[in-house]
Amino acid sequence: MTTIGAVSDSLLYLNGVSVSFDGFRAINDLSLVLAPGEMRAVIGPNGAGKTTMMDIITGKTRPDTGEVIFRADTDLTKLDEPAIAALGIGRKFQKPTVFEVHNVWDNLLLALAGDRRPRFTMWARETGEERDRIDEILATIRLSDLRHTRSGDLSHGQKQWLEIGMLLAQEPQLLLVDEPVAGMTDSETAQTAELLVEINKTRSVVVVEHDMDFVRALGVRVTVLHEGSVLSEGSIDHVSEDPRVVEVYLGR
């Protein structure tokens, strides 16, 4: 593996990544470097390759070419989803996917970092340590009062938070969050921004989002994707004044 300058002190390093589906180039020579502790917002029109980028990082899709390196030494293209999750990369999907028949508490319990093998879970008993950790997460995601609620009965916004809580329970170093505020009310959106900023104090975060006000509220570096590659990168003010971004977003 080559170690170019940027790799050595990066948390996540994508270099020249391309992937095609039936001839359609979903990702085209994409390069992106995320520093440890950084929060990055990724924006772009539909079909820009945002979700495919997440799929590549989490092992769901293998790139045709390019490097995907985590913590400067781990090649993610060689690993599958559970192995990448175990390394410390957590993912929140666009559509909230919690385990609907389980209650809030059990969803968090299943997500807690720990042994994932059947021979362990078959005999596992809930420990005091696990209970404390779940209580802590419940407080962070503001669902303490709903711990015994079947998660399928939660509101849309509460499901999104539960899913963020499940991500936290995994104790990942890097969180990939796909459109966390889609379908949320304004006050829920504001609370979610606060929550992500809070989370970013201890972990790195990549947020894919359409909602510009939300991205502005995060106040972080923004990467604009277009047709599978990076169109522009910088502060929200910088990218929103970039004429290429304006052209893509507003049409020519």
What single-letter amino acid sits at 31?
S
Minimum CB separation of residue 122 from other proteins in Å reads 4
Minimum CB separation of residue 61 from other proteins in Å reads 12
* Total residue count of the chain as it appears in this document: 252
Residue with tokens 């470097």: 33
What single-letter amino acid sits at 44?
G
Minimum CB separation of residue 102 from other proteins in Å reads 6
**What's the Cα-to-Cα distance from 29 to each of 20, 77, 108, 227, rounded to whole Å?**
11, 15, 37, 10
Is 210 in a helix, a strand, or coil? coil
Which positions ≥6 away from 191 have C-beta within 8 Å?
142
DSSP per position, 105-158: HHHHHHHSSS--SHHHHTT----HHHHHHHHHHHHHTT-GGGTTSBGGGS-HHH
Compare residues 73 and 100 and give the one whose CB is closer to other proteins.
100
Residues that bind other proteins (CB under 8 A): 58, 60, 80-82, 85-86, 90-91, 93, 97, 99-102, 106, 109-111, 116-118, 121-124, 166, 170
Compare residues 111 and 205 and give the one whose CB is closer to other proteins.
111
34 - beta bridge partners? 12
Compare residues 63 and 96 and give the one whose CB is closer to other proteins.
96
Compare residues 1 and 122 and give the one whose CB is closer to other proteins.
122
Compare residues 35 and 124 and give the one whose CB is closer to other proteins.
124
Compare residues 150 and 216 and give the one whose CB is closer to other proteins.
150
Q: At what angle do helices 156-169 and 104-111 cross, to 10 degrees?
A: 30
Minimum CB separation of residue 62 from other proteins in Å reads 15
Minimum CB separation of residue 126 from other proteins in Å reads 8
d(Cα 26, Cα 172) in Å, to the nearest integer? Answer: 27
Minimum CB separation of residue 106 from other proteins in Å reads 6
